[in-house]
Chain A
């Protein structure tokens, strides 16, 4: 089913996608002429497939549950923000705060992601085939951030339990973020996630793992210069 944002209002498009009757409705949708509109495909709950033909604005796929969304273009701020489950695949580049606070699901970005990719992430798995900007994985709590390119300044600042895997260079690490040993458990996990992103050709051993030193988990006056 085709939904043309030149002909339909955003509310109508989202309403259609938010009100799926599994017995009666189609499970495949194509959104035409997104033209940078914001809040496309937000608050979806059903296991449906959507292809967005073009560039989108802020919060595409926000708070997604179960839906499989492909964006054939670039995405604005906060793609997949607070996603709970499902999959979002961005064929272009992503602006800042991609996957912010997301609790689950899978986000793939074929291009680069700007600053704060995975900020406060709470369980999502993010694969960026290009590079990420500064302050990525800031205060990230859970889940995995995989970057096949480089990472900008202050990677993983004030990190909790998210695992970060970087193939390229890291400009600098944020407070309490350190490089950690890559053991078999992590290699297997990374292989699995790379395969899920159709990146089997990449070798997990070429990545470095970063995580929390856990020194700032409880406030200590001796660490005050780190804050």
Chain B
């Protein structure tokens, strides 16, 4: 309201409402902010790309009649039993401990109905998720919490985790309130202590060592299952090249929108690269080593719908992985718990204090009362519905581009809405043939 010839009160762009609240919070508590999830800032993303569709020069496929294949085989390089999935959308690693047992079960159920894989996390493999997951990827993390050779041999693939997009170069911490009796037993820790996850593996340090570590894992599992190597979107060209050199069957590349159970806000928002900026350098590495489509590339970090899937595949990925989106599908941040979110000082859609274990949706908690709120069967069905919708959407876009297989999508099917996205994805800015950094037209 303008009064007495004064100008309107003007808020600072630099010191906006959120920034000021964080300064006040830091001043009150003396500790940095810890939260779950991935980067929340506006980043160049798949939304900044568009499909061109078919025209005179391209011939479209009939939407409801002509087939568009979606299946993908992961681990064709060395594994005797590669992972054969019906759709190119996998469920990312999320630990039992960070998530409740019923949430892990729901993820397994949903993934199995949809014909895809789910992944363990820090803390080992639970019978619930092994029992409900037709395809289960077992993570080998620096902490090795719950790492058990019997479980290793039960896995359909092994994922050596080197980094997460939310925190490249960072470890993790599961606060004591989530270390229940069961979580403590699985991780060989006293109940109630903060569980620290190391940022480096305890028995290897560089790419030459990693090669030997992968050899050991293959020998233990008799060369049957694929070995994935998961890297954060840090230096995607070199890290992908080194993972290939070390013998990976599959490279999983997680951009900075990829979520975590808990880490520092400053880490999540200021370390790593956006998913969109990671894909082409990784594909470059694969192509330079003549390994594109021989070593498969899985992209994760902010994948939300079939459009994102199709765009990631068009840029050269073989599959995508979802974590945060899968949690939302099974009930995370559902507005039906708004009153409970308000009690925690937040609102549906913004709740990210997953490490505190008070999740009203019963997903990122070990509280028995809250866990009962999640029905793993119903939640699993929701996840499978969501995965099917994503697949249908991706197929729709691929057919419109004249492709009878999602993996036939290519960068030439895309244009960009912004100069930044054009440069990162290396596709022309809409209305031009200009690809920043590639040509000057």
Docked pose: A28 CA to B144 CA in angstroms: 31
- Indicate if the CB atoms of A58 and B209 lie closer than 8 Å: yes
- Indicate if the CB atoms of B209 and A82 lie closer than 8 Å: no
Q: Choose from B30, B192, B215 the contact partner of A38 (Cβ within 8 Å).
A: B215
- Indicate if the CB atoms of B215 and A120 lie closer than 8 Å: no
- Indicate if the CB atoms of A57 and B212 lie closer than 8 Å: yes
Shortest C-beta distance, A135 to chain B (Å), equals: 10
Specify which chain A residues have a CB less than 8 angstroms from the CB of B29 in the assembled complex: 221
Chain B proximity mask over A126-169: 1 for CB below 8 Å, otherwise 0: 00000000000011011000000000000000101100000000
- Indicate if the CB atoms of A39 and B212 lie closer than 8 Å: yes
Docked pose: A15 CA to B220 CA in angstroms: 9
- Indicate if the CB atoms of A84 and B148 lie closer than 8 Å: yes
Shortest C-beta distance, B419 to chain A (Å), equals: 42
- Indicate if the CB atoms of A43 and B31 lie closer than 8 Å: no
Q: Can you list 23 A-B pairs with a CB-CB distance of less than 8 A?
A: A42-B219, A43-B221, A58-B203, A58-B209, A58-B216, A59-B212, A63-B149, A63-B152, A63-B220, A65-B150, A77-B204, A78-B204, A81-B203, A97-B202, A101-B144, A101-B147, A103-B148, A116-B202, A123-B188, A141-B189, A160-B193, A217-B193, A218-B193
User: In chain B, what residue has the closest Cβ to A160?
Assistant: B189
User: In chain A, what residue has the closest Cβ to B153?
Assistant: A43
Shortest C-beta distance, B284 to chain A (Å), equals: 31
Chain A proximity mask over B195-230: 1 for CB below 8 Å, otherwise 0: 010100011100001001101100111110000000
Assuming the contacts A39-B215, A63-B152, A160-B189, asked whether A221 and B30 have C-beta atoms less than 8 A apart, the reply is yes
Chain B proximity mask over A74-101: 1 for CB below 8 Å, otherwise 0: 0001100110100000000000110011
Point out residues on A near B: beta carbons under 8 Å: 10-11, 14-15, 18, 38-39, 42-43, 45, 57-59, 62-63, 65, 77-78, 81-82, 84, 96-97, 100-101, 103, 116, 119-120, 122-123, 138-139, 141-142, 158, 160-161, 217-219, 221
User: In chain B, what residue has the closest Cβ to A57?
Assistant: B212
- Indicate if the CB atoms of B219 and A101 lie closer than 8 Å: no
Specify which chain A residues have a CB less than 8 angstroms from the CB of B190 in the assembled complex: 160-161, 217
Residue from B29, B192, B209 with most neighbouring chain A CB atoms (10 Å): B209
- Indicate if the CB atoms of A43 and B149 lie closer than 8 Å: yes
Residue from B152, B188, B216 with most neighbouring chain A CB atoms (10 Å): B216
Specify which chain A residues have a CB less than 8 angstroms from the CB of B296 in the assembled complex: none
Specify which chain B residues have a CB less than 8 angstroms from the CB of A142 in the assembled complex: 188
Specify which chain A residues have a CB less than 8 angstroms from the CB of B203 in the assembled complex: 58-59, 77-78, 81, 96-97, 100-101, 119
Assuming the contacts A122-B188, A139-B196, asked whether A39 and B202 have C-beta atoms less than 8 A apart, the reply is no
Point out residues on B near A: beta carbons under 8 Å: 29-31, 143-144, 147-150, 152-153, 173, 175-176, 188-190, 192-194, 196, 198, 202-204, 209, 212-213, 215-216, 219-223
Docked pose: A77 CA to B211 CA in angstroms: 13
Specify which chain A residues have a CB less than 8 angstroms from the CB of B209 in the assembled complex: 58, 77
- Indicate if the CB atoms of A139 and B198 lie closer than 8 Å: yes
Specify which chain A residues have a CB less than 8 angstroms from the CB of B204 in the assembled complex: 58, 77-78
Specify which chain B residues have a CB less than 8 angstroms from the CB of A62 in the assembled complex: 216, 220
Shortest C-beta distance, B242 to chain A (Å), equals: 18
- Indicate if the CB atoms of A38 and B216 lie closer than 8 Å: yes
5 closest residue pairs by CB, A with B? A43-B220, A78-B203, A101-B144, A63-B149, A217-B193
- Indicate if the CB atoms of B143 and A120 lie closer than 8 Å: yes
Residue from A101, A103, A116 with most neighbouring chain B CB atoms (10 Å): A101
Shortest C-beta distance, A98 to chain B (Å), equals: 9
- Indicate if the CB atoms of B144 and A39 lie closer than 8 Å: no
Q: Choose from B143, B194, B222 the contact partner of A15 (Cβ within 8 Å).
A: B222
User: In chain A, what residue has the closest Cβ to B197?
Assistant: A139
Shortest C-beta distance, B179 to chain A (Å), equals: 10
Q: Choose from B212, B220, B221 the contact partner of A58 (Cβ within 8 Å).
A: B212
Docked pose: A58 CA to B216 CA in angstroms: 9
Specify which chain B residues have a CB less than 8 angstroms from the CB of A161 in the assembled complex: 190
- Indicate if the CB atoms of A84 and B196 lie closer than 8 Å: no
- Indicate if the CB atoms of B213 and A217 lie closer than 8 Å: no
Assuming the contacts A141-B189, A160-B189, A160-B190, asked whether A39 and B219 have C-beta atoms less than 8 A apart, the reply is yes
- Indicate if the CB atoms of A38 and B212 lie closer than 8 Å: yes
Docked pose: A3 CA to B424 CA in angstroms: 54
Docked pose: A97 CA to B203 CA in angstroms: 6
- Indicate if the CB atoms of A65 and B149 lie closer than 8 Å: yes
Specify which chain B residues have a CB less than 8 angstroms from the CB of A160 in the assembled complex: 189-190, 193
Residue from A58, A96, A123, A158 with most neighbouring chain B CB atoms (10 Å): A58
Specify which chain B residues have a CB less than 8 angstroms from the CB of A39 in the assembled complex: 212, 215-216, 219
Besides A42-B219, A120-B144, 6 new A-B residue pairs in contact (Cβ under 8 A), listed by A number? A42-B220, A82-B147, A101-B144, A101-B202, A139-B196, A219-B31
User: In chain A, what residue has the closest Cβ to B149?
Assistant: A63
